[in-house]
Structure 1
Amino acid sequence: MSKIDESRTFVPVRIAVLTVSDSRNLQDDRSGDTLVARITAAGHEVADRKIIRDERGEIALQLREWCADPDIDVVISTGGTGLTGRDVTVEAHRDVYEKEIEAFGTVFTIISMKKIGTSAVQSRATGGVAQGTYLFALPGSPGACKDAWDEILAYQLDLRHRPCNFVEIMPRLDEHLRRK
Protein backbone atom coordinates (compact mmCIF):
# COMPACT_ATOMS: atom_id res chain seq x y z
CA MET A 1 0.00 0.00 0.00
CA SER A 2 1.22 3.52 -0.68
CA LYS A 3 2.50 5.62 2.20
CA ILE A 4 4.86 8.46 3.09
CA ASP A 5 8.22 7.22 4.34
CA GLU A 6 9.20 9.75 7.03
CA SER A 7 12.78 8.41 7.05
CA ARG A 8 13.33 10.02 3.63
CA THR A 9 13.96 13.74 3.20
CA PHE A 10 11.39 15.83 1.33
CA VAL A 11 12.77 17.31 -1.90
CA PRO A 12 10.91 20.33 -3.29
CA VAL A 13 10.34 20.43 -7.04
CA ARG A 14 9.95 23.50 -9.24
CA ILE A 15 6.55 23.64 -10.89
CA ALA A 16 5.22 25.96 -13.61
CA VAL A 17 1.45 26.53 -13.77
CA LEU A 18 -0.25 27.25 -17.08
CA THR A 19 -3.89 28.24 -17.35
CA VAL A 20 -5.34 27.80 -20.82
CA SER A 21 -8.25 30.16 -21.32
CA ASP A 22 -9.61 32.74 -23.74
CA SER A 23 -11.37 34.60 -20.92
CA ARG A 24 -9.39 34.28 -17.65
CA ASN A 25 -6.79 36.62 -16.19
CA LEU A 26 -4.71 36.36 -13.00
CA GLN A 27 -7.42 38.08 -10.97
CA ASP A 28 -10.10 35.46 -11.73
CA ASP A 29 -8.03 32.32 -12.37
CA ARG A 30 -9.48 30.13 -9.61
CA SER A 31 -8.03 26.90 -11.01
CA GLY A 32 -4.53 28.36 -11.26
CA ASP A 33 -4.93 29.78 -7.75
CA THR A 34 -5.97 26.34 -6.47
CA LEU A 35 -2.84 24.76 -7.93
CA VAL A 36 -0.52 27.51 -6.67
CA ALA A 37 -1.94 27.24 -3.15
CA ARG A 38 -1.52 23.47 -3.06
CA ILE A 39 1.96 23.52 -4.61
CA THR A 40 3.28 26.02 -2.08
CA ALA A 41 1.48 24.40 0.88
CA ALA A 42 3.20 21.11 -0.02
CA GLY A 43 6.62 22.83 0.11
CA HIS A 44 7.27 22.99 -3.61
CA GLU A 45 8.23 26.11 -5.59
CA VAL A 46 6.04 27.81 -8.18
CA ALA A 47 8.72 28.45 -10.80
CA ASP A 48 6.47 30.37 -13.20
CA ARG A 49 2.81 31.02 -13.93
CA LYS A 50 1.10 32.12 -17.13
CA ILE A 51 -2.27 32.32 -18.78
CA ILE A 52 -2.48 31.79 -22.53
CA ARG A 53 -5.24 31.42 -25.11
CA ASP A 54 -6.71 28.14 -26.34
CA GLU A 55 -4.33 27.96 -29.29
CA ARG A 56 -2.56 24.65 -29.89
CA GLY A 57 0.65 26.17 -31.24
CA GLU A 58 0.91 28.73 -28.43
CA ILE A 59 0.33 26.09 -25.77
CA ALA A 60 2.92 23.73 -27.28
CA LEU A 61 5.44 26.57 -27.59
CA GLN A 62 5.03 27.49 -23.91
CA LEU A 63 5.36 23.84 -22.87
CA ARG A 64 8.55 23.49 -24.93
CA GLU A 65 10.02 26.69 -23.45
CA TRP A 66 9.40 25.43 -19.92
CA CYS A 67 10.76 21.96 -20.78
CA ALA A 68 13.97 23.61 -22.00
CA ASP A 69 14.31 25.60 -18.76
CA PRO A 70 16.58 23.76 -16.29
CA ASP A 71 14.84 25.57 -13.42
CA ILE A 72 11.49 23.86 -14.12
CA ASP A 73 10.89 20.21 -13.21
CA VAL A 74 7.12 19.95 -13.72
CA VAL A 75 4.47 21.78 -15.74
CA ILE A 76 0.82 21.59 -14.76
CA SER A 77 -1.73 23.10 -17.10
CA THR A 78 -5.40 23.62 -16.37
CA GLY A 79 -8.13 24.16 -18.95
CA GLY A 80 -8.78 23.09 -22.52
CA THR A 81 -9.08 19.36 -21.85
CA GLY A 82 -12.74 18.97 -22.76
CA LEU A 83 -14.47 18.02 -25.98
CA THR A 84 -15.39 21.35 -27.56
CA GLY A 85 -13.73 22.75 -30.65
CA ARG A 86 -11.60 25.20 -28.65
CA ASP A 87 -10.28 22.49 -26.29
CA VAL A 88 -6.82 21.80 -27.73
CA THR A 89 -4.63 21.51 -24.63
CA VAL A 90 -4.40 17.71 -24.82
CA GLU A 91 -3.33 17.86 -28.47
CA ALA A 92 -0.71 20.51 -27.64
CA HIS A 93 0.64 18.38 -24.79
CA ARG A 94 0.86 15.34 -27.05
CA ASP A 95 2.72 17.44 -29.65
CA VAL A 96 5.42 17.92 -26.98
CA TYR A 97 5.49 14.56 -25.16
CA GLU A 98 8.32 12.14 -25.70
CA LYS A 99 6.44 9.62 -23.57
CA GLU A 100 2.86 9.69 -22.37
CA ILE A 101 1.95 8.56 -18.86
CA GLU A 102 -1.24 6.76 -19.91
CA ALA A 103 -2.20 5.70 -16.38
CA PHE A 104 -2.40 9.33 -15.22
CA GLY A 105 -5.61 9.93 -17.18
CA THR A 106 -7.01 6.57 -16.07
CA VAL A 107 -6.36 7.23 -12.38
CA PHE A 108 -7.76 10.75 -12.72
CA THR A 109 -10.94 9.32 -14.27
CA ILE A 110 -11.32 6.81 -11.42
CA ILE A 111 -10.99 9.63 -8.87
CA SER A 112 -13.42 11.82 -10.83
CA MET A 113 -16.00 9.05 -11.10
CA LYS A 114 -16.29 9.03 -7.31
CA LYS A 115 -17.06 12.77 -7.34
CA ILE A 116 -18.98 13.46 -10.55
CA GLY A 117 -20.10 10.04 -11.75
CA THR A 118 -20.22 9.35 -15.46
CA SER A 119 -19.54 13.01 -16.26
CA ALA A 120 -15.88 12.02 -15.73
CA VAL A 121 -15.96 10.51 -19.22
CA GLN A 122 -15.79 14.07 -20.64
CA SER A 123 -12.34 14.76 -19.20
CA ARG A 124 -9.21 14.14 -21.23
CA ALA A 125 -6.67 14.74 -18.44
CA THR A 126 -3.24 13.58 -19.51
CA GLY A 127 0.36 13.37 -18.39
CA GLY A 128 3.68 12.89 -20.09
CA VAL A 129 7.40 13.56 -20.14
CA ALA A 130 9.51 15.73 -22.45
CA GLN A 131 13.15 16.81 -22.10
CA GLY A 132 13.28 15.46 -18.55
CA THR A 133 10.22 17.49 -17.49
CA TYR A 134 6.90 16.12 -16.32
CA LEU A 135 3.80 17.63 -17.96
CA PHE A 136 0.22 17.28 -16.74
CA ALA A 137 -2.95 18.65 -18.34
CA LEU A 138 -5.90 19.02 -15.96
CA PRO A 139 -9.46 20.17 -16.55
CA GLY A 140 -10.19 23.85 -15.98
CA SER A 141 -12.21 23.58 -12.79
CA PRO A 142 -10.87 24.21 -9.28
CA GLY A 143 -12.42 20.91 -8.16
CA ALA A 144 -10.59 18.93 -10.82
CA CYS A 145 -7.30 20.67 -9.95
CA LYS A 146 -7.89 19.92 -6.27
CA ASP A 147 -8.63 16.26 -6.98
CA ALA A 148 -5.63 15.77 -9.28
CA TRP A 149 -3.27 17.44 -6.81
CA ASP A 150 -4.64 15.99 -3.57
CA GLU A 151 -5.07 12.44 -4.79
CA ILE A 152 -2.30 11.95 -7.38
CA LEU A 153 0.30 14.68 -7.75
CA ALA A 154 0.86 15.45 -4.06
CA TYR A 155 2.03 11.85 -3.65
CA GLN A 156 3.83 11.32 -6.93
CA LEU A 157 5.75 14.60 -6.57
CA ASP A 158 6.91 13.65 -3.06
CA LEU A 159 10.19 11.71 -2.88
CA ARG A 160 9.03 10.14 0.38
CA HIS A 161 6.04 8.40 -1.24
CA ARG A 162 6.37 4.61 -1.36
CA PRO A 163 6.51 2.28 -3.11
CA CYS A 164 7.54 4.66 -5.90
CA ASN A 165 7.15 8.24 -7.12
CA PHE A 166 7.99 10.55 -10.01
CA VAL A 167 10.71 12.44 -8.13
CA GLU A 168 13.02 9.49 -7.58
CA ILE A 169 13.23 8.78 -11.31
CA MET A 170 13.50 12.44 -12.31
CA PRO A 171 17.30 12.27 -12.85
CA ARG A 172 16.79 9.44 -15.34
CA LEU A 173 14.05 10.98 -17.49
CA ASP A 174 16.46 12.31 -20.08
CA GLU A 175 19.15 9.60 -19.85
CA HIS A 176 18.51 8.63 -23.48
CA LEU A 177 19.77 12.08 -24.49
CA ARG A 178 23.07 11.53 -22.64
CA ARG A 179 23.92 8.14 -24.17
CA LYS A 180 26.87 7.95 -26.51
Structure 2
Amino acid sequence: MATPHPDPITLVVHCAVITVSDTRTLETDRSGQTIQQLLQSAGHQIGAYDLVKDEPMQIRSLLEDLSQRSDLDALIINGGTGIAPRDTTYDAIEALLEKTLPGFGELFRYLSYQEIGSRAIASRAVAGVFRSKLIFSLPGSTNAVALAVEKLILPELRHLVSQLRTP
Protein backbone atom coordinates (compact mmCIF):
# COMPACT_ATOMS: atom_id res chain seq x y z
CA MET A 1 0.00 0.00 0.00
CA ALA A 2 1.31 3.44 -0.88
CA THR A 3 1.84 5.95 1.88
CA PRO A 4 1.14 9.65 1.50
CA HIS A 5 4.04 12.01 1.10
CA PRO A 6 5.17 13.39 4.45
CA ASP A 7 3.68 16.66 5.60
CA PRO A 8 6.36 19.35 5.75
CA ILE A 9 4.97 20.87 8.92
CA THR A 10 4.40 19.61 12.41
CA LEU A 11 0.90 20.71 13.12
CA VAL A 12 -1.04 20.02 16.29
CA VAL A 13 -4.68 19.64 15.33
CA HIS A 14 -7.27 20.67 17.91
CA CYS A 15 -10.20 18.28 17.82
CA ALA A 16 -13.64 17.86 19.28
CA VAL A 17 -14.85 14.32 19.87
CA ILE A 18 -18.61 13.80 19.84
CA THR A 19 -20.39 10.56 20.62
CA VAL A 20 -23.96 10.21 19.39
CA SER A 21 -25.78 7.69 21.55
CA ASP A 22 -29.01 7.23 23.45
CA THR A 23 -27.39 4.82 25.93
CA ARG A 24 -23.70 5.62 26.47
CA THR A 25 -22.29 7.68 29.31
CA LEU A 26 -18.87 9.28 29.72
CA GLU A 27 -17.81 6.17 31.64
CA THR A 28 -19.09 3.63 29.09
CA ASP A 29 -18.14 5.48 25.89
CA ARG A 30 -15.30 3.23 24.71
CA SER A 31 -15.42 4.59 21.16
CA GLY A 32 -15.13 8.23 22.21
CA GLN A 33 -12.30 7.29 24.57
CA THR A 34 -10.53 5.38 21.78
CA ILE A 35 -10.72 8.36 19.42
CA GLN A 36 -9.27 10.65 22.08
CA GLN A 37 -6.45 8.26 22.96
CA LEU A 38 -5.45 7.75 19.33
CA LEU A 39 -5.48 11.48 18.57
CA GLN A 40 -3.49 12.35 21.68
CA SER A 41 -0.95 9.58 21.00
CA ALA A 42 -0.38 11.17 17.58
CA GLY A 43 0.32 14.56 19.20
CA HIS A 44 -3.07 16.22 18.69
CA GLN A 45 -5.18 18.01 21.30
CA ILE A 46 -8.74 17.36 22.47
CA GLY A 47 -10.49 20.71 22.84
CA ALA A 48 -13.97 19.33 23.51
CA TYR A 49 -15.67 16.04 24.26
CA ASP A 50 -19.45 15.69 24.21
CA LEU A 51 -22.15 13.05 24.30
CA VAL A 52 -25.38 13.86 22.51
CA LYS A 53 -28.59 11.92 22.04
CA ASP A 54 -29.37 10.59 18.57
CA GLU A 55 -31.67 13.53 17.84
CA PRO A 56 -31.00 15.47 14.62
CA MET A 57 -31.69 18.91 16.10
CA GLN A 58 -29.38 18.26 19.08
CA ILE A 59 -26.63 16.96 16.80
CA ARG A 60 -26.92 19.95 14.44
CA SER A 61 -27.02 22.43 17.31
CA LEU A 62 -23.88 20.98 18.87
CA LEU A 63 -22.04 20.99 15.52
CA GLU A 64 -23.05 24.58 14.87
CA ASP A 65 -21.82 25.62 18.33
CA LEU A 66 -18.51 23.77 18.03
CA SER A 67 -17.92 25.00 14.47
CA GLN A 68 -17.90 28.58 15.74
CA ARG A 69 -14.98 27.92 18.09
CA SER A 70 -11.73 29.30 16.71
CA ASP A 71 -9.72 26.87 18.86
CA LEU A 72 -11.00 23.77 17.02
CA ASP A 73 -9.87 22.41 13.64
CA ALA A 74 -11.74 19.12 13.36
CA LEU A 75 -14.90 17.52 14.73
CA ILE A 76 -14.90 13.73 14.94
CA ILE A 77 -18.30 12.19 15.53
CA ASN A 78 -19.07 8.56 16.24
CA GLY A 79 -22.40 6.77 16.31
CA GLY A 80 -25.68 6.93 14.44
CA THR A 81 -24.37 6.18 10.94
CA GLY A 82 -26.36 3.01 10.26
CA ILE A 83 -29.88 2.66 8.89
CA ALA A 84 -31.84 1.84 12.06
CA PRO A 85 -34.67 4.26 12.82
CA ARG A 86 -32.62 5.95 15.61
CA ASP A 87 -29.51 6.33 13.39
CA THR A 88 -29.84 9.98 12.41
CA THR A 89 -26.29 11.34 12.47
CA TYR A 90 -25.78 11.19 8.71
CA ASP A 91 -29.13 12.85 8.09
CA ALA A 92 -28.35 15.58 10.63
CA ILE A 93 -24.96 16.55 9.22
CA GLU A 94 -25.13 15.74 5.51
CA ALA A 95 -26.99 18.96 4.70
CA LEU A 96 -24.55 21.01 6.80
CA LEU A 97 -21.47 19.93 4.84
CA GLU A 98 -20.29 22.64 2.46
CA LYS A 99 -17.80 20.29 0.83
CA THR A 100 -17.73 16.52 1.05
CA LEU A 101 -14.81 14.12 0.94
CA PRO A 102 -16.44 11.16 -0.83
CA GLY A 103 -13.20 9.20 -0.74
CA PHE A 104 -13.36 8.98 3.04
CA GLY A 105 -16.63 7.03 3.09
CA GLU A 106 -15.60 4.95 0.10
CA LEU A 107 -12.26 3.97 1.60
CA PHE A 108 -13.77 3.39 5.04
CA ARG A 109 -16.35 0.99 3.63
CA TYR A 110 -13.65 -0.76 1.58
CA LEU A 111 -11.46 -1.24 4.66
CA SER A 112 -14.50 -2.29 6.71
CA TYR A 113 -15.45 -4.83 4.05
CA GLN A 114 -12.03 -6.44 4.50
CA GLU A 115 -12.77 -6.84 8.22
CA ILE A 116 -16.52 -7.49 8.45
CA GLY A 117 -17.57 -8.44 4.95
CA SER A 118 -20.71 -7.27 3.22
CA ARG A 119 -22.17 -5.71 6.38
CA ALA A 120 -19.98 -2.71 5.54
CA ILE A 121 -22.63 -1.54 3.07
CA ALA A 122 -24.83 -0.42 5.98
CA SER A 123 -22.33 2.26 7.04
CA ARG A 124 -23.07 5.86 6.14
CA ALA A 125 -19.69 7.12 7.34
CA VAL A 126 -19.01 10.52 5.79
CA ALA A 127 -16.51 13.37 5.94
CA GLY A 128 -16.43 16.93 4.76
CA VAL A 129 -16.05 20.57 5.68
CA PHE A 130 -18.42 22.78 7.64
CA ARG A 131 -17.47 26.38 8.43
CA SER A 132 -13.78 25.67 7.73
CA LYS A 133 -13.77 22.72 10.14
CA LEU A 134 -13.12 19.14 9.12
CA ILE A 135 -16.00 16.84 10.01
CA PHE A 136 -15.62 13.08 10.23
CA SER A 137 -18.67 10.97 11.03
CA LEU A 138 -17.89 7.37 12.01
CA PRO A 139 -19.90 4.38 13.17
CA GLY A 140 -20.16 3.85 16.92
CA SER A 141 -18.34 0.53 17.01
CA THR A 142 -14.98 0.74 18.78
CA ASN A 143 -13.36 -1.42 16.09
CA ALA A 144 -14.75 0.80 13.33
CA VAL A 145 -13.57 3.93 15.13
CA ALA A 146 -10.04 2.55 15.53
CA LEU A 147 -9.96 1.51 11.86
CA ALA A 148 -11.08 4.93 10.62
CA VAL A 149 -8.78 6.93 12.90
CA GLU A 150 -5.68 4.79 12.39
CA LYS A 151 -5.97 4.09 8.66
CA LEU A 152 -7.64 7.24 7.30
CA ILE A 153 -7.90 10.17 9.68
CA LEU A 154 -4.47 10.26 11.30
CA PRO A 155 -2.52 9.85 8.03
CA GLU A 156 -4.35 12.83 6.47
CA LEU A 157 -5.44 15.06 9.38
CA ARG A 158 -2.51 17.50 9.32
CA HIS A 159 -2.59 17.75 5.53
CA LEU A 160 -6.33 18.42 5.38
CA VAL A 161 -6.21 21.03 8.14
CA SER A 162 -3.27 22.79 6.48
CA GLN A 163 -5.25 22.89 3.22
CA LEU A 164 -8.18 24.51 5.00
CA ARG A 165 -5.87 27.13 6.48
CA THR A 166 -4.32 28.04 3.12
CA PRO A 167 -5.96 31.19 1.69
Give the TM bin, normalised by the shorter chain: over 0.9
Q: Which secondary structure does the structure 2 equivalent of 1:96 belong to?
A: coil
Cross-structure match for 2:135: 135
Instruction: Return the index of the structure with the highest Cα Rg.
Output: 1
1:53 aligned partner? 53
Contact 1:19-1:50 at 8 Å conserved across structures: yes
State the alpha-carbon separation in 1 of the partners of residues 95 and 126 from structure 2. Answer: 12
Alpha-carbon separation, structure 1, partners of 2:64 and 2:95: 10
Q: Residue 31 of structure 2 contacts residue 140 of structure 2 at CA under 8 Å; is this kept in 1? A: yes
Q: Which residue of 2 aligns with 1:168?
A: 162
Distance apart, 1:122 and its partner CA: 0.9
Does residue 12 in structure 1 map to residue 18 in structure 2?
no
Superposed CA offset, 1:18-66 (max 9, x none): 0000110100000001101001000000010000100001001111111
State the SS of the aligned residue for 2:150.
Answer: helix
- TM-superposition CA deviations, 1:135-168 (whole Å, max 9, x none): 011000110000000100011113xxxxxx3133
The answer to whether the 8 A contact 2:134-2:161 is kept is no
Partner of 1:81: 81
1:157 is paired with a residue of what secondary structure?
helix
**Which whole-Å CA distance do the structure 2 matches of 1:34 and 1:119 have between them?**
22
Which residue in 2 is equivalent to 1:72? 72
CA distance in 2, matches of 1:105, 1:5: 23
Q: Does the CA-based 8 Å contact 2:16-2:76 persist in structure 1?
A: yes
Contact 1:81 1:125 in 2 (8 A): yes
Q: Deviations over 1:68-126 (max 9, x none)?
A: 11111000000000111110000111132111211111010011011111110111100
Which amino acid in structure 2 is aligned with residue 170 of structure 1?
L
Preserved contact between residue 22 and residue 53 of structure 1 (Cα < 8 Å): yes
Could you tell me how far apart the structure 2 residues matched to 1:21 and 1:167 are? 27
Q: Structure 1 stretches (4+) deviating beyond 6 angstroms? A: none
Alignment of 1:35 onto 2:35: yes
The amino acid across from 1:39 in the alignment is L
Length-normalised TM-score, structure 1? 0.88
Partner Cα distance (2:95, 2:51) in 1: 19
Sequence identity (%)? 33
1:155 paired residue number: 155
Root mean square deviation, CA, Å? 1.3
Q: Number of matched residues?
A: 166
Separation of aligned partners in 2, 1:125 and 1:154:
16
Q: What 5-or-longer segments of structure 2 have no aligned partner?
A: none
